[in-house]
Amino acid sequence: MSLSRRNFLIASLAAIPATRFDPKPEQNWPGFRGPGSQGIADGYTTQTTWDLAPAPDKPKNMLWRTEVPGMAHSSPIIWGDRIYLATAVKLSGKAPLRIGYYGDVKASPDNDEQKWMILCFDKKSGKRLWEKTLRTSKPATDRHEKSSHANTTLVTDGKNLVGFFGSEGLYCFDMDGKLLWNKDLGVINNSWHDIGWGYSSSPALFKDRIALLCDDPKNPFVAAYQLSDGKEIWRTSRKGDCEGSWGTPFILDDGKRIQVITNGWPFIVSYDLETGKELWRLRGGGDIPIPTPFVSDGLIVLSNAHGGKAPLFVVRPTAKGDISLADGSTSNESVVWSVPNGGSYISTPIVYGGRVYLANYNGVIRCFDFKTGEKLYEERLGPDANMFVIPGRRRRQNLLPYRRRNRPRSQGRFKTGNSGEERFGRALPGDARNFSGHHLLSHRGKPHCDWLKM
The answer to whether residue 438 is domain-embedded is: yes
Positive/negative CA dihedral, 82, 156, 204, 105: positive
Whose CA is closest to 363, among 376, 379, 377, 375?
379
Average pLDDT over the chain, rounded to whole? 77
Give per-residue pLDDT as tens, 210-260: 999 998 888 899 999 999 999 999 999 999 888 778 889 999 999 999 999
The C-alpha atoms of residue 415 and residue 424 are separated, in whole angstroms, by 9
Give per-residue pLDDT as tens, 83-134: 999 998 887 777 766 666 656 677 667 777 889 999 999 988 889 999 999 9
Has residue 394 got a pLDDT over 80?
A: no
Write down the pLDDT at residue 10. Answer: 53
The C-alpha atoms of residue 415 and residue 397 are separated, in whole angstroms, by 10
At 176, which CATH number?
2.130.10.10
Question: DSSP character for 76?
Answer: P
Which of 392 and 243 is assigned the larger pLDDT?
Answer: 243
The C-alpha atoms of residue 180 and residue 174 are separated, in whole angstroms, by 7
The answer to whether residue 217 is domain-embedded is: yes
Q: In total, how many domains does the chain have?
A: 1
The answer to whether residue 347 is domain-embedded is: yes
How many other β-carbons are positioned within 10 Å of the β-carbon of residue 183? 15
Write down the pLDDT at residue 409. Answer: 38
Strands (E) located in 165-318? 170-174, 179-183, 191-192, 195-196, 204-206, 209-214, 221-226, 232-237, 250-253, 258-262, 267-272, 278-283, 294-296, 299-303, 312-315
Has residue 279 got a pLDDT over 90?
A: yes
Whose CA is closest to 395, among 345, 352, 427, 440?
352
The answer to whether residue 220 is domain-embedded is: yes
Is residue 351 a contact partner of residue 296, using CB atoms and an 8 Å limit? yes
The answer to whether residue 36 is domain-embedded is: yes
The answer to whether residue 192 is domain-embedded is: yes
Least confident of 20-24, 129-133, 146-150, 425-429: 20-24
| Residue 413, φ and ψ in degrees, nearest 5 | -125, 130
Which of 186 and 194 is assigned the larger pLDDT?
Answer: 186
Has residue 444 got a pLDDT over 90?
A: no
The C-alpha atoms of residue 159 and residue 155 are separated, in whole angstroms, by 11
Q: What number is the average pLDDT over the span 67-73?
A: 81
The answer to whether residue 17 is domain-embedded is: yes
Can you give the residue range of the structural domain that contains 58?
7-453
Rg (CA), the chain: 21
Write down the pLDDT at residue 360. Answer: 77
The answer to whether residue 1 is domain-embedded is: no
Write down the pLDDT at residue 17. Answer: 30
Give per-residue pLDDT as tens, 374-385: 999 988 775 555
Write down the pLDDT at residue 100. Answer: 64
